[in-house]
Amino acid sequence: DAGVTQSPTHLIKTRGQQVTLRCSPISGHKSVSWYQQVLGQGPQFIFQYYEKEERGRGNFPDRFSARQFPNYSSELNVNALLLGDSALYLCASSLMGLAQYEQYFGPGTRLTVT
């Protein structure tokens, strides 16, 4: 089975622009989470979606938004980009939103803001 896929792999944007990152979960997985990993740090939780509803949100500004589609894929949107938004954005999927189900991570999207 294919793992979690993310697109694009790399992205370069300018301050003030908007960006959309995409994630396709493992087939059958209904929960998707997004994490931001700044260089040299551990990932930080941004959002979790389960059955197309937001189930959790981390400490990120309203410039960050996300949604989940009927096929359980997800998009993360970031508006008014700042230099500090430069990071690896990781998507993780799980079978259900319950804690005992493992989260499987995608390869990430490397966003560079100049």
Partner 1 sequence: AQTVTQSQPEMSVQEAETVTLSCTYDTSESDYYLFWYKQPPSRQMILVIRQEAYKQQNATENRFSVNFQKAAKSFSLKISDSQLGDAAMYFCAYRSDPLNSGGSNYKLTFGKGTLLTVNP
- Where do contacts with partner 1 occur on this chain (CB under 8 A)? 3, 31, 33, 35, 40-45, 48, 50, 55-56, 58, 88, 90, 92, 94, 97-100, 102-108
Least distance to partner 1, CB of residue 69, Å: 19
Q: Work out how close the CB of 112 gets to partner 1 at its nearest, in angstroms, rounded to a whole number.
A: 15
Question: Least separation, in Å, of the C-beta of 101 and partner 1?
Answer: 9
Q: CB under 8 Å to 6, separation ≥6 — which residues?
A: 21, 22, 23, 24, 89, 90, 91, 106, 107, 108, 109
Cβ closer to partner 1: 8 or 16?
8
